[in-house]
Chain A
Amino acid sequence: MGGERISDSASDALKQRRGRIVRRYFLIFVTLVGGSLLVSLLLEMGFRVWETRWNLDVVHRQMAELAALRIHNYVENVAQAVRLAAQPRHVVEGRVSDEYISDLRDLLKNVPAIRDVVAIGLDGREMLRVSRIGASALDAGADHAPEAYFATARAGKTYFGPVMFPADSFEPRIMIAVPIEPFRGEIIGVLTATVNVRYVWDVVQEIRVGESGYAYVVSATGALVAHPDLFLVLQRKDFSDLPQVSALRDPGEETAGIGAYQNVYGKWVLASHAAIPDVGWTVVVERPLTEAYGPLIASLARTGGILLVACLTAVGAAVLLGRRVLHPIEELRRGAARLEAGDLETKLTVETGDEFEELADDFNRMAARLKDSYADLEKKVEIRTRELAEKSRQLELESRHKSQFLANMSHELRTPLNAIIGYTELIADGLYGPPSDQMRSVLERIDINGRHLLGLINDVLDLSKIEAGQFTLSLSDYSLHDVVKSVFTGVEALAAEKGLAFKTYVPADLPRGRGDERRIAQVLLNLTGNAIKFTDAGEVTIKASAHNGAFTIAVRDTGPGIDAADQARIFAEFHQVDASSTREKGGSGLGLSIAKRIVELHGGRIWVESRRGAGSTFSFTLPIAIEQQA
């Protein structure tokens, strides 16, 4: 059904549009809610990352500095002890006496990290030596004068030597050298102490940076001094190739060596550092990135999760809200489509409790109203239709009655007329005794008038049949030749009476036609009769021909002719050129209109060519053979 197809395509369109609305709501919500959430959270996260990094850097640097401070304190304490020991009370002739050795022994006793001490004279020769391990024999041949530590201490400063890894021990050492200064400004020698920096390890071991962070100490050259992983130290590892360590050699860059680096194990760590004064060492603090940023990442993940949930909620809300808004719209649209398709029973159920429900109620009221007025209209139409049908039936009946009445009437008229004409003929033929000449001429007038009256009755009857649509053709084969001949015979006498030349031209080889022979003869008789009637002198000719599957029959006269204005009207009913001619020439004035109908029922055409004073030619065409009336 057409209606279903329409609603199908309507629902298709609806689906498409529905997609559009949902998408629009979706986009709006995602853009507004999701977008603002995303932006604010991203900003927040960015700030937090920046803040965390800054905090971590600060904390790590502080830890490194604390470690550096502790190591420095330790070294400084050792150095201080050495310095104290370098203020001898036993000075003889500008030299330390042998009693000074007890001071040195006290030093070894008090400071376990010191491995051995050597007192050197200004000449660079060893004067006293005390070792914690092994013999405290002087290296008599050694000349310390050219050494850097000698020069530094001799100049009144404390010397901290580079880290040494002696062959006889795994433990690294440094040398501290101070001037032997019994009185301020009076330097009498140099005291060197070899310090085992193994104690730095303990300090380093204790440093904990977060969960698994650690600190280690490298020398100025990058050599590893202390590391929680002792194995590395014992291996005498050189860290100078580590980027965070090598970066320390570039003092111009303050932040060099601070940040994310790979540690010695290849693991990513957050590195920071602090310099240890005097010894030229550096404490490096490293903490695995995953741990350092762990809380941040967890927090970011949490925030991201919240964002995701918020976005999903927003999307869900958008879709739900879209649906909620869309559902009543769809319902309304479906209703409108159903209404359009003619389903007036349409009732919408929208229970949103808002304007949509009001709209749906309005819609329902409208549909109900429409239905009522439709029903009303249908009832009215039905009543009108019935009335019209009744009227039409009555009219048809009336028409049939009229035609029947006319047919009956004409039969009734004809029956007495038949008797009149019959009796007249019998009297004229002398059946009831020989009539006188005068009687005979009167009988002839009776006959002529009777036949005229008969013609009029026939015309009226024909016309009433035409009007009632009951005029039908009786089709049969005919010879046009015979038709012309019968007409000629019928009116020959009339023409002769008026002294008119009357000729017919009919080719001998005309084909046989098919049509209503009697009606065709009636047409030709009418035209010929008129021609003779209206022509006072000259001639009347009938000319027949056949071409292109049609007969053409023309009746030409030399009568008064017909004005152009009248030519169009003469085929109309009840029309003669002027009213007076009806009285003069007789006829009902129906002949030509009946002739026209007969010709048209055959599928032909009738027309006149004429000029006032130059005669008229009435012509008509007939398809040679017709199988049914037009």
Chain B
Amino acid sequence: MTSTKKRILVVEDQEDNRRILRDLLTNAGYQVFEAENGGEALVAATTHRPDLILMDIQLPVVDGYEATRRLKADPAVREIPVIVITSYALSGDEGKARAAGCDDYVTKPYSPRQVLAKVRSYLS
């Protein structure tokens, strides 16, 4: 069973939000890897080869845009869908996220149910 589980990389620096996504997705039957910043995300994406990446934008060291851009520039991982979690706070985030090459986005604050629905639409 374990081997058939879809693998999701959650990139989120904030502990509570990371836990909510982990609980939500684990409970929904996915295997979750976590990264706390863009740098870690790049490493984790190459090593774990997830089926989907949930990427927060506001990250320390390397932010979500830069991480997305680098992922999409790497032929080995560019096929992995990236859903960016943008913040309502900063205008133009959606445009910037799309420019960075993400496949989809959810706006923070999000409803876990909506996130789950979006994830399922990519991994069904």
Contacts and interface: CB of A to CB of B under 8 A. Distances in A.
B23 to A, nearest CB: 6
Given A426-B23, A474-B95, A416 B16 contact: yes
A172 B112 CA distance: 172
A422 B112 contact: yes
A92 interface: no
Interface string B11-24: 00010110010011
Given A414-B89, A431-B23, A419 B108 contact: no
What DSSP secondary structure best describes chain A's contact surface?
helix
Contact of B17 (A415, A425, A431, A461): A415
Given A419-B20, A422-B20, A474-B95, A461 B113 contact: no
B88 A414 contact: yes
Given A418-B17, A419-B16, A419-B17, A474 B109 contact: no
Interface in A422-438: 422-423, 425-426, 429, 431-432
Given A415-B14, A418-B108, A422-B20, A429 B91 contact: no
Interface string A373-416: 00000000000000000000000000000000001001100111
Contacts of B91: 465, 470-472, 474
B95 A411 contact: no
Nearest to B88: A458
Interface in B74-118: 87-92, 94-95, 108-113
A417 interface: yes
Nearest to A422: B20
Contacts of B95: 474
Contacts, number: 63
Contacts of B111: 421-422, 425
A461 B108 CA distance: 14
B27 interface: yes
A454 interface: yes
Nearest to B13: A415
A335 B14 CA distance: 77
A425 B16 contact: no
Interface in B1-50: 14, 16-17, 20, 23-24, 27
Nearest to B91: A472
Interface residues of B, number: 22
B17 A414 contact: no
Nearest to A415: B14
Contacts of B113: 425, 429
Nearest to A430: B27
Contact of B89 (A410, A421, A425, A472): A410
Contacts of B88: 414, 458, 461
Nearest to A407: B89
Nearest to B109: A418
B85 to A, nearest CB: 9
A418 to B, nearest CB: 4
A410 B94 CA distance: 18
Given A414-B108, A431-B23, A422 B89 contact: no
A419 B111 CA distance: 10
Nearest to B94: A474
A422 B17 contact: yes
B54 to A, nearest CB: 13
Contacts of B14: 415, 419
A465 B89 CA distance: 10
B20 A411 contact: no
Given A417-B109, A418-B109, A407 B90 contact: yes
B109 A454 contact: yes
Interface string A437-455: 0000000000000000010
Contacts of A418: 17, 108-110
A422 B90 CA distance: 21
Contacts of B110: 418, 422
25 contacts: A407-B89, A411-B58, A414-B87, A414-B88, A415-B14, A415-B16, A418-B17, A418-B108, A419-B17, A421-B111, A422-B16, A422-B20, A422-B109, A422-B111, A422-B112, A425-B111, A425-B113, A426-B24, A429-B113, A432-B23, A461-B89, A465-B91, A470-B91, A471-B91, A472-B92
Interface of B: 14, 16-17, 20, 23-24, 27, 58, 87-92, 94-95, 108-113
Given A417-B109, A418-B109, 20 more contacts: A407-B89, A410-B89, A411-B90, A414-B88, A414-B89, A415-B17, A416-B16, A422-B17, A422-B20, A422-B110, A422-B112, A423-B20, A425-B113, A426-B20, A426-B24, A431-B27, A461-B88, A461-B89, A470-B91, A474-B95
> A-B pairs with the 9 shortest C-beta distances?
A419-B16, A422-B20, A418-B109, A411-B89, A425-B112, A410-B89, A431-B27, A407-B89, A422-B112
